[in-house]
Structure 1
Amino acid sequence: MALKVEVYQKEKVRPCSPTPQTLRNYKLSLLDILISTFYNPFVFFYDSPAGGPGRHDYDELKDSLMKTLSVLYPLAGRIKDGSTIECNDEGADFVRAKVTNCDLGEFLRNPKLEDIRQMLPLDPYPNAIDPAQPMLAVQVNRFRCGGTAVAFCIWHGLADGAAMTGLFNTWAAINRGEEPNNPGGLVVDASTIFRPGNFVSSPQKPLSLKKPGKYSSKRFVFGKRDIERLRNDYYQPSEHRRRPSRVEALSAFIWAAVIRASLQANPNLKTHLLTNVVNLGKKLNPPFPSQCLGNINQVVAARWESEADGGGRVTAGFLVGRVAEAIHKVTDDYVREMHAEGGYLRALLGVTKTLHNADEIKVLRISSMCNFSFPQVNFGWGKPIWIGLGYTLEDLAIFLDAEDGGIQVWIGLAQEVMCNLDKDMEFNAYVSFSQIFSEPSCPPQSALCTLARE
């Protein structure tokens, strides 16, 4: 049964106090510009109020958003040019909707991407970013039972996972009537380190590759015990290698399984790359505030070569060292050297050029959002009972914390590769739960986009 979401109100929410003229222009860094072609789409699901028919107060939520935008003022601005946000207090979109044919419990039994997308306030993947579009849009969706889905679309040029944590925690604290933590450290200037130089990405031509073919997306959950087993299995003190982190171990495990599945689909595969997103906040000296706006991260890559690595059986134990090496080479000196005179951009463009031979070279991108406290976001309604993602997953895996200390992996692969992965007994031996999230079909859209066309 298709979810029915009816939008009944849309309004602009502006900061409760004006942004000073001295803070009018927020400079984007090179890392912001490179990722600024889409929105981060997150949905937090909250159970109906306990003990009766009471409702979550959306007016109160709107008022606290006004206060939050006064702290995180670039989110109320608009794109001025390719490297600047004009902090003009134009505001964020605040949309109210109701789910007319479903209770929250029914929805959570089998959530689908097309249903999650209906709850979003805008299309997270516009063809181009219009200067009139907001940096932040929120849609509150009330289920028949009284439960709520709070859906966010946050322009990626302003927010990575850590920055989203800063937004969510600040807004939640204000809505609970508390003071936010470290409000002065939430807006910083990263462009002095990650200088954009003369590079300004065109919104019409994002720095990405079009993915041919049909993709399937699934959610896999790996329990804490199984991840610890992987970490122990891959720990080889005789090689003077430290015990891998849970993200490193699981990245290598999934990468190996995806390579095996890809080789079954394409025996001509010669090279497979794994990219991980590394949080630079604590690696830089001095460190950046942990939840500030911007993209304080960098992509690193590990490589598997069929000829050099002997082809044949691909194991995670063999690959985990390469994953850990790629991540741990990122130090303050490394970052500053890479960003001197455009070095990082040249390296990124060089890797992108090699990926045009799609038959021989494939890539899996992993972005970990573990340890970002998303499951703790409490607006005064208790913790979310589930978090949904509205991303289009194409050769992309996103890690989120699971309840028991494990990790849930949202991953999208070419349909044939996903089919082969499902048959991989070694992979499935560690999966505690799996769920189809999206299968090849027409692109899903938000209810607001549908409403605008009618």
Structure 2
Amino acid sequence: MALKVEVYQKEKVRPSSPTPKTLRSHKLCLLDMMVGNFYHPFVFFYNSGAGPGRHDYDELKESLSKTLSVLYPLAGRIKDRSTIDCNDEGADFVRANVTNTDLAEFLRRHPKLEHLRQLLPLDPYPNAIDPAQPMLAVQVNRFRCGGTAVGFCTWHGVADAGGMTGMLNTLAAINRGEEPTNSGGGLVVDATAIFPPGNFAIFLQSMSNNAAVAPPKRKHYTSKRFVFSKQDIERLRRNQSDHSDMKHHRRPSRVEALSAFLWAAVIRATLLANPSLKAHLLTHVVNLRKKLNPPLPSHCLGNINQVTRAGWKVVAGAGAGQRVTAESLVGRVVEAIDKVTNEYVREMHVEGGYLRAILAHSKEYDNKDETKMLRITSVCKFPFGEVDFGWGKPIRIGMGHKLEDLALFWDTEDGGIEVSVGLEDEVMWNLDKDMEFHAYVSFAQIVSESSCPQRSAL
């Protein structure tokens, strides 16, 4: 059934108090500049309240205005690739009605990507940077039953998942009538001293030259949700601890164990589809806020994270017949993540070292016809489920990301993990036939099918 969403009002929300002139220019660090022109597209669903005025959108708009005074870069506009002009232009605030379904019915059908996108205030993947584009846009959608879906698009260049949870819970606390945690300047930091931009223009040109040698082929992808229970994840951890060839003796975390398990299954499925792929890479996004010394605020704005890489290569002559298991990969995953320490991060960012490392890695795996990468971003333990505007905690959280060889990990209420992953059609078809993989899956659902890829990142 098609979803009918009728937008009836669009307006700008400006900060409740003007940003001081001394704070008008917010410098982006190297990690902010590298993520590209994308938005975080999240939708939070709330049951209807006890009274008709419980979900007060005017009150939420006022709270957003106060939030923009605290998190003032979100009310600004991009000035160049390295600066946000904190000019108080404001955020977009959109109101809409869902006219043909109740919230419970909508969620019972397990909404697909195209339905979630209708609940967002803008396209999360614009083609180019527009100086007029907002850093933040919000859409409140009222269902027939009185339930609400609040869609957020937050520009990735100003906030990663940690920064977005800081914004969301600040907004929620203000709407509940409370003082936000870490109010004032605590959630806005200058990270350029730790992650200096360096000569980013030359880096972009070098990467562009490398890409021009072999332009990527347009491919079709299928995205699915897989849910793994707490018990099955614990079983994976035990198996990997008992039977792996890990150099490290510590037990893998939930995310590490599931990452190795998923990566192994995807490699098996990929080799069946394309045996010529000799090198397989796994990347992880590691939150650096607590790893740095001194640490940064746990939910400050910015992209305070580093990408780690683990690799696996096909043994010559083995081809598709080579057996790959989670037990054989988990040590590589753990080793790559453990390498990210305060000392390692700071050394990597001295005099353009991080950019040089990326270029060197790109050249090492420059044969794209023989290399396949799976990217994993985990938001487990981030407090997205705590976003309570005074309406109760969200009963479901949806994502509007377009997935291309990308997996997103979420906590479930029972301590398990939900995985949303997008793979090429044939690879996903092979994964669906992998009984070793599905022996641990408690729920699976197609999110979107056969769509041309759009780049996405957290």
Return the TM-score normalized by structure 1. Answer: 0.93
1:55 CA drift (Å): 4.7
1:440 CA drift (Å): 1.5
Alpha carbons 2:224, 2:422 under 8 Å: kept:
yes
Give distance in 2, aligned partners of 1:364 and 1:232.
Answer: 24
Within the candidate set 371, 380, 384, 1:374 is matched to 384
CA displacement, residues 66-96 of structure 1 (integer Å, 9 cap, x when unaligned): 0000000000000111100010100000000
1:358 CA drift (Å): 3.4
Within the candidate set 296, 301, 305, 1:293 is matched to 301
Within the candidate set 249, 254, 267, 1:259 is matched to 267
1:353 CA drift (Å): 4.5
Instruction: Tell me the residue number matched to 1:82.
Output: 81
1:99 aligns with 2:98: yes
Alignment of 1:197-208 (within 5 A): 197-200=198-201
Q: 1:124 to 1:354 in 2, by over 3 A?
A: farther
Instruction: Tell me the residue number matched to 1:321.
Output: 331
Instruction: Tell me the residue number matched to 2:219.
Output: 213
Alpha carbons 1:36, 1:155 under 8 Å: kept:
no
| Corresponding pairs, count | 442
1:385 aligns with 2:386: no
Alignment of 1:95-244 (within 5 A): 95-108=94-107, 109-183=109-183, 184-200=185-201, 212-236=218-242, 241-244=249-252
Give distance in 2, aligned partners of 1:186 and 1:141.
Answer: 28
The secondary structure found in structure 1 opposite 2:352 is helix
Give distance in 2, aligned partners of 1:224 and 1:350.
Answer: 39
Alpha carbons 1:377, 1:383 under 8 Å: kept:
yes
Give distance in 1, aligned partners of 2:313 and 2:426.
Answer: 21
1:100 CA drift (Å): 1.2
CA displacement, residues 288-325 of structure 1 (integer Å, 9 cap, x when unaligned): 11000000000010001002796611100010000000
1:442 CA drift (Å): 7.5
The secondary structure found in structure 2 opposite 1:187 is coil
Instruction: Tell me the residue number matched to 1:73.
Output: 72
One-letter identity of the residue aligned with 1:391:
H
1:181 CA drift (Å): 0.7
Alpha carbons 1:266, 1:359 under 8 Å: kept:
no
Alpha carbons 1:222, 1:431 under 8 Å: kept:
yes
Instruction: Tell me the residue number matched to 2:15.
Output: 15
Give distance in 2, aligned partners of 1:107 and 1:354.
Answer: 47
Q: 1:68 to 1:394 in 2, by over 3 A?
A: same
CA displacement, residues 25-82 of structure 1 (integer Å, 9 cap, x when unaligned): 00000000000321111000111114x5555110000000000000000000001111
Q: 1:442 to 1:114 in 2, by over 3 A?
A: farther
Q: 1:442 to 1:397 in 2, by over 3 A?
A: closer
Instruction: Tell me the residue number matched to 1:420.
Output: 430
1:360 CA drift (Å): 1.2
Structure 1 unaligned runs (5+)?
445-454
Alpha carbons 1:45, 1:384 under 8 Å: kept:
yes
One-letter identity of the residue aligned with 1:394:
E
Instruction: Tell me the residue number matched to 2:342.
Output: 332
The secondary structure found in structure 1 opposite 2:430 is helix
One-letter identity of the residue aligned with 1:87:
C
One-letter identity of the residue aligned with 2:104:
G
Alpha carbons 1:211, 1:394 under 8 Å: kept:
no
1:198 CA drift (Å): 2.4
One-letter identity of the residue aligned with 1:212:
R
1:241 CA drift (Å): 1.4
Give distance in 2, aligned partners of 1:127 and 1:84.
Answer: 20
One-letter identity of the residue aligned with 2:40:
N
Instruction: Tell me the residue number matched to 1:406.
Output: 416
The secondary structure found in structure 1 opposite 2:128 is coil
The secondary structure found in structure 1 opposite 2:137 is strand
The secondary structure found in structure 1 opposite 2:369 is coil
1:210 CA drift (Å): 5.0
Q: 1:342 to 1:55 in 2, by over 3 A?
A: same
CA displacement, residues 311-364 of structure 1 (integer Å, 9 cap, x when unaligned): 611100010000000000011111111111111112223334555533311000
Structure 2 unaligned runs (5+)?
none
Alignment of 1:264-275 (within 5 A): 264-275=272-283
The secondary structure found in structure 2 opposite 1:154 is strand
The secondary structure found in structure 2 opposite 1:212 is coil
CA displacement, residues 421-447 of structure 1 (integer Å, 9 cap, x when unaligned): 111101101111111100124799xxx
Alpha carbons 1:355, 1:362 under 8 Å: kept:
no
Give distance in 2, aligned partners of 1:153 and 1:355.
Answer: 33
Alpha carbons 2:222, 2:424 under 8 Å: kept:
yes
One-letter identity of the residue aligned with 2:413:
E
CA displacement, residues 253-282 of structure 1 (integer Å, 9 cap, x when unaligned): 000000000001011110000000011111
Give distance in 2, aligned partners of 1:413 and 1:116.
Answer: 20
One-letter identity of the residue aligned with 1:277:
V
One-letter identity of the residue aligned with 2:192:
S
Return the TM-score normalized by structure 2. Answer: 0.92
Q: 1:367 to 1:111 in 2, by over 3 A?
A: same
